[in-house]
Amino acid sequence: MNSNDFYQLKAELSVMDFTKSKPNYADLARKYGVDYRTVKKYHEGYKGKPRNRAKPSRL
């Protein structure tokens, strides 16, 4: 899944939220070539891995 597909998926999920329709995760997963759990994860608000380290340096 490239970044363009990610933005298209997020846009499609936003439209579904706006219209109060329930997304079909399996159908969207087939359309974008990812697992349905990935689509669900992004729909529930996953932003991606954190950019910063959680632990401070020991030095």
The pLDDT score that the predictor gives to residue 58 is: 82
Query: Does the global pTM surpass 0.85?
Result: no
Q: What is the pLDDT along the chain (59 residues), one digit of tens a residue?
A: 777 888 899 999 999 999 999 999 999 999 999 999 999 999 998 887 878 877 887 88
Token pair in block for residue 55: 């632990």
DSSP reduced 3-state for 54: coil
What was the pLDDT predicted at 46?
Answer: 86
